[in-house]
Amino acid sequence: MKYQEVSGGICAPKGFAAAGVHCGIRANRTKYDLALIKAEVRCAAAGVYTTNKVCGAPIKVDRAHLADGYAQAILVNSGNANTCAANGVELAEECCRLTGEALGIPAEDVLPASTGVIGQPMTIDPFAAGIPVAAAKLAATAEGSADAATAIMTTDTHKKEYAIQFELGGKTCTVGAIGKGSGMIAPNMATMLAFYTTDAAVSPAMLQKALREVVPGTYNQMSVDLDTSTNDTLIVMASGLAGNPVVDAEGPDYDAFVEALTAIAEHMCAEHAGDGEGATHLITCEVSGAPDLKTARAVSRSVVCSNLFKAAVFGRDANWGRILCAIGYTPGDFSIDKVCVWLSSAAGEVYVCENAAYHPYSEEEAAKVLAEHDILVRVEMGLGSACAKAWGCDLTYDYVKINGDYRT
């Protein structure tokens, strides 16, 4: 599919404004900790959430507010997860009421989200102070998107946002995204926190269907540390202001929309994994020649999740045996006899494993390949035509330091 990257993040699609402010949840007054996203019109909306049995209170409110498939605003705080708090649901609902009051929309059209430390007490005071300020600061500009993307960061080292344009029903449509998350990442639904906006006209049912179609091959294929967060949330709002015929059934327009969502999701996955806590490398694993899609996804995920291989990448050690080992313990009935492996980066490519055995290569050249930030592991299984990708990062000393000091 042809698409073009554009600036503006979540404010690139028609009809969306955003803001980020400091409201007092974080002690550091220079750090934004409250983000607000608002649409000009009531939007079709869809979401997917963590499968963790311990889930943030905002998720419970989101599910209730999205029951009709529509929303108009998203409110996100960082610094406190609003999870395992006795008054969590009530606080999330009060945040929606305050947001609705500030924006002149029903509270039920506001979707809350939180990220930060689990199990900490929380009051409405910072929200009561910050929501009116954020509402007054809303801007349909690249700066508005950037401020919102910055406000939702926790251990991220940089903001994450992206936007693309594509053709749909003869109209130019745009999808924009912001996201946060560098640790506690092993999604089984979506990601840490991610918010997409689009001006494409898509019905709520097809928006939810598209989201559920995209997530398994993108966000569910990403891991930093095998920990599934309590607050994982991915929400999409579609304003319909691009003017395309409404996508309300499967067909070419639906397929084009799914392709666009997939493209932006793949980009965001690489952003998250490459910024993993303490990471010095982004690891992408591409599997081809698998007997079926399930196996292709499972194998690629096993490789990027292997702590031994992650540590080897950190040490710039082309220890392909750890890759083969990870493939071998992947669940499924398949043969490893024809597995071939290549390691590549901007510095070149080395062929390290042929038919599940050593293929002669230069350790010096391999070290140069692994010195780059972006590392690609190509696995050919020789068993069929299915393929898949997964994203991860290396395992470094700093990961332990960051999480050892996370609260203190």
Per-residue confidence of the chain (408 residues) as pLDDT tens digits?
Answer: 689 999 999 999 999 999 999 999 998 889 999 999 999 999 999 999 987 888 889 999 999 999 999 999 999 999 998 998 889 999 999 999 999 999 999 999 999 999 988 888 899 999 999 999 999 999 999 999 999 999 999 888 999 999 999 999 999 999 999 999 866 556 554 457 999 999 999 999 999 999 999 999 999 999 887 777 788 899 999 999 999 999 999 999 999 999 999 999 999 999 988 888 888 999 999 999 999 999 999 999 999 999 999 999 999 999 999 999 999 999 999 999 999 999 999 999 999 999 999 999 999 999 999 999 999 999 999 999 999 999 999 998 888 887 787 666
Secondary element (H or E) of residue 132: helix 125-137
228 and 364 together in one domain: no
Q: Which of 216, 247, 274 is the last residue of a domain?
A: 274
Q: Are residues 310 and 186 in the same domain?
A: no
Residues 306, 264: one domain? no
Distance of alpha carbon 282 from alpha carbon 377, whole angstroms:
11
Q: What is the DSSP letter of 245?
A: P
Catalytic residue among 191, 218, 284, 295: 191
Condensed to tens digits (0 to 9), the pLDDT of residues 177-195 reads 999 986 655 655 445 799 9
First vs last C-alpha separation in the chain: 47
Q: Are residues 212 and 310 in the same domain?
A: no
The residue behind tokens 């290396």 is 394
Burial grade of 43 (CB within 10 A; 0-12, 13-18, 19 or more): buried
CB 20 within 8 A of CB 10: no
DSSP state, residue 360? -
Residue 244 has what DSSP assignment?
P
The 10 Å Cβ neighbour count of residue 150 is 21
Considering the domain architecture, whether residues 255 and 311 belong to the same structural domain is answered as: no
What CATH number is given to the structural domain containing 108?
Answer: 3.60.70.12
Is residue 157 classed as helix, strand or coil in its secondary structure?
coil
Known catalytic membership, residue 51: no
Report the candidate in 240, 75, 271 with the shortest Cα–Cα distance to residue 163: 271
Residues in a beta bridge with 201: none
Q: Name the nearest CA neighbour of 174 among 231, 239, 113, 127.
A: 239
Q: How many distinct structural domains can be found in the chain?
A: 2
Residue range 255-272, pLDDT digits in tens: 999 999 999 999 999 998
| Boundary residue ending a domain (246, 274, 302) | 274
39 vs 18: CA distance, rounded Å: 9
Q: In this structure, are 257 and 286 located in the same domain? A: no
Same-domain status, 234 and 100: yes
Dihedral (Cα; 126, 194, 137, 29), 10-degree rounding: 40
Domain match, 8 and 97 both: yes
Residues 199 and 320 in one domain: no
Q: Please list the helix, strand and coil fractions of the chain in percent, rounded to the nearest 5, in that order.
A: 35, 30, 35
Question: Which residues have C-beta within 8 Å of that of residue 34, sequence separation ≥ 6?
Answer: 20, 21, 22, 23, 25, 75, 76, 77, 78, 126, 127, 130, 131, 134, 151
Closest CA to 371 of 345, 399, 342: 345
Same domain flag for 264 and 286:
no
Work out the burial of residue 347: count CB atoms within 10 Å of its CB; fewer than 13 is exposed, 13-18 middle, 19 or more buried: middle
Q: Are residues 23 and 154 in the same domain?
A: yes
Rounded-to-integer distance, Cα 262 and Cα 139, Å: 27
Domain end, chosen from 235, 258, 274, is at 274
How does pLDDT run across 202-257, given as a tens digit for each residue?
999 999 999 999 999 999 999 887 777 788 899 999 999 999 999 999 999 999 99
Residues 305, 234 within the same domain: no
> Which DSSP symbol is given to 117?
E
Domain that holds residue 241: 4-274
Instruction: Give this prediction's pTM.
Output: 0.91
- For the domain that residue 356 is a member of, what is the CATH number? 3.10.20.340
Tokens linked to 116: 């930060």
